[in-house]
């Protein structure tokens, strides 16, 4: 299983270092990933970036590019998170450029997709149509691709999608996506084991519940295998 923590805009450099130090002591067969903010990057094989501009360097105020990421020997990136799509208005066109750029650099790309509540309320066919539109321009056969299905209405709300909703959506995604499929959206200590047991769920992307390292470690230990 892949168990990933997205810090979003939480943790400092100091607290990230402490988090990684504590995590180092954990014995697990699972693949762990941690995505700290850009100010708290470390050279560590489990660390990836939450964002990267599709350029080596240049006049892109506030962004970080390949040169800054490579300084830490990082080769993992999150692309397409709903907070960047919705709050920061990242277009599918920009997201596609990022994907192509970091794919050409051989990065492991965790690519996020997820529908808003009004689409979920229209039923599974509309959900899949929406998710497919978020995959336009993305090479779904890229061998270092991980797809994270994260319904927007479940992110940070404390209310996860139901087991049935996750199962049905992942089964439909599996019909055309061969890569690992993560679920994200209010995964917590109480539901991680059950979610990871669902067919076609290859792991989880966790925000809120992962920010306390003790809780993240407990969650990792809940998952079979």
Residues that bind ligand PEP (CB under 6 A): 6, 150, 155-156, 184-187, 205-209
Cβ proximity to ligand PEP: between 138 and 155 the closer is 155
Task: Report which of 146, 208, 209 is spatially closest to residue 182, judged by C-alpha positions.
Answer: 146
Rounded (10°) angle between helices 213-222 and 13-24: 30
Q: Is 11 a catalytic residue?
A: no
Q: Is 170 a catalytic residue?
A: no
Angle at 209 between CA 142 and CA 204, to 5 degrees: 25
Query: Shortest Cβ distance from residue 59 to ligand PEP (Å)?
Result: 30
Of 83, 90, 115, 150, the active-site residue reads 150
- The token pair at 99 is 């994907």
- Contact assessment for residue 5 and residue 35, using Cβ atoms and an 8 Å cutoff: yes
Residue 86 backbone phi and psi in degrees, to 5: -90, -50
Cβ proximity to ligand PEP: between 6 and 16 the closer is 6
Query: Shortest Cβ distance from residue 65 to ligand PEP (Å)?
Result: 23
Q: How many CA atoms lie within 13 A of 202 on its CB side?
A: 17
At a CB cut-off of 8 Å and minimum separation 6, what does 57 contact?
A: 65, 66, 67, 68
Of 11, 81, 115, 170, the active-site residue reads 81
Cβ proximity to ligand PEP: between 177 and 206 the closer is 206
Query: Shortest Cβ distance from residue 120 to ligand PEP (Å)?
Result: 15
Cβ proximity to ligand PEP: between 74 and 148 the closer is 148
Query: Shortest Cβ distance from residue 8 to ligand PEP (Å)?
Result: 6
- Contact assessment for residue 114 and residue 155, using Cβ atoms and an 8 Å cutoff: yes
Query: Shortest Cβ distance from residue 113 to ligand PEP (Å)?
Result: 12
Cβ proximity to ligand PEP: between 66 and 203 the closer is 203
Max CA separation in the chain (angstroms): 46
Distance CA 198, CA 219 (A): 16
Instruction: Tell me the catalytic residues.
Output: 81, 150
């Amino acid at each position: 299983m892949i168990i990933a923590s997205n810090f979003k805009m939480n943790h400092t450099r100091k607290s990230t270092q402490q988090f990684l130090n504590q995590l180092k002591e954990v014995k697990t067969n699972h693949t762990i990933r941690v995505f700290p903010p850009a100010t708290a990057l470390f050279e560590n094989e489990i660390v990836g970036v939450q964002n990267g501009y599709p350029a080596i360097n240049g006049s892109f105020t506030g962004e970080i590019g390949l040169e800054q990421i490579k300084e830490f020997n990082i080769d993992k990136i999150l692309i397409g998170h709903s907070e960047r799509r919705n709050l920061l208005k990242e277009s599918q066109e920009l997201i596609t450029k990022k994907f192509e750029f970091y794919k050409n650099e051989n990065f492991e790309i965790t690519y996020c997709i997820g529908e808003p509540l009004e689409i979920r309320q229209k039923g599974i066919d509309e959900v899949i149509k929406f998710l497919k539109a978020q995959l336009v321009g993305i090479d779904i056969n890229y061998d270092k691709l991980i797809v994270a299905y994260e319904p927007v209405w479940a992110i940070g709300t404390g209310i996860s999608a139901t087991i049935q909703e996750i199962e049905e959506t992942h089964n439909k995604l599996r019909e055309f996506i061969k890569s690992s499929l993560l679920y994200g959206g209010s995964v917590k200590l109480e539901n991680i084991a059950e979610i990871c047991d669902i067919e076609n769920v290859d792991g989880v992307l966790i925000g809120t519940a992962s920010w306390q390292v003790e809780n993240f470690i407990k969650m990792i230990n809940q998952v079979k295998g």
